[in-house]
């Protein structure tokens, strides 16, 4: 069996095993069938966005003031924001698409790696994305805060692309399947272009996305070198 066939066999065997576990667990509902860390990430982000929405209706932005990632040197910058920023979002669409990506790809990574390793990876890529954005803000003099899980999501995407490079995905609006490796490369190229272009009115932290992607790629290279690429032994 070739290396690529082994990867495909492993991927589908993993999905089949997970379906079997669902049947054995009984009817636990939609969330009960999602792996632990992925499920908690979805719930936490949804609850925090709900709190943001309710406070915004009263004209309050307290959560953003303390949780969004402000540039170093800003009166609002605090060290904990390098973690809290990735659980805040600017709109319903923002949180929905980020969490949809976590649901689609993060649950597979958690099934492959186990909860501890997936959580460490998710947090490290999010922190790496935040540090990248702080550096870019320092170099450009930007004063805008950053919020959202997109940096960690790009880490999740690059991990899925490296683990299952030839898995075919259907991405709206394309009417044909795209292999995971090309999807990741394409996303990275687009983000690099948009970040360098620096178009007027573009308030997306493109370099934070790239930071999450690059940090994730470096972590995966290290884990592959140490033999921890497709299992959870690194944290056992």
Catalytic-residue membership of 167 = no
Pick the catalytic residue: 89, 150, 167, 206?
Answer: 150
Cα dihedral sign for 99, 102, 104, 110?
negative
Give, as one character, the DSSP assignment of residue 103: I
d(CA 23, CA 15): 13
Q: Which two tokens stand for residue 112?
A: 């492959």
Catalytic-residue membership of 150 = yes
User: What b/e sequence results for 37-72 when a residue is b if at least 16 CB atoms lie within 10 Å of its CB, and e otherwise?
Assistant: bbbebbeebeebbeebeeeeeeeeeebbeebbbbbe
Pick the catalytic residue: 89, 167, 206, 209?
Answer: 209
CA-closest candidate to residue 86, choices 98, 97, 75: 98
d(CA 31, CA 99): 13
Asked whether the beta carbons of 33 and 22 are under 8 A apart, the reply is yes
Catalytically annotated residues:
150, 209
């Amino acid at each position: 069996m070739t290396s690529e066939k082994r990867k495909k066999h492993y991927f589908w065997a993993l999905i089949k095993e997970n379906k079997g576990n669902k049947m054995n667990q009984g009817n636990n509902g939609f969330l009960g069938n999602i792996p632990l860390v992925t499920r908690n990430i979805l719930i936490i982000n949804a609850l925090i966005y709900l709190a943001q929405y309710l406070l915004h209706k009263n004209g309050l932005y307290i959560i953003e003031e303390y949780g969004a990632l402000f540039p170093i040197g800003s009166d609002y910058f605090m060290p904990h924001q390098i973690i809290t920023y990735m659980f805040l979002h600017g709109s319903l669409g923002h949180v929905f698409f980020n969490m949809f990506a976590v649901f689609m790809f993060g649950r597979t990574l958690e099934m492959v790696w186990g909860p501890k390793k997936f959580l460490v990876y998710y947090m490290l890529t999010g922190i790496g994305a935040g540090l990248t954005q702080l550096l870019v803000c320092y170099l450009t003099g930007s004063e805008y805060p950053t919020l959202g899980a997109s940096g960690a999501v790009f880490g999740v995407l690059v991990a899925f692309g490296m683990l299952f490079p030839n898995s075919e995905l259907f991405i709206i609006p394309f009417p044909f399947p795209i292999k995971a490796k090309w999807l990741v490369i394409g996303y990275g190229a687009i983000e690099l272009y948009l970040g360098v272009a620096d178009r007027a009115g573009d308030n997306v932290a493109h370099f934070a996305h790239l930071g999450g992607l690059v940090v994730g790629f470096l972590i995966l290279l290290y884990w592959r070198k140490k033999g921890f690429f497709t299992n959870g032994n690194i944290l056992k």
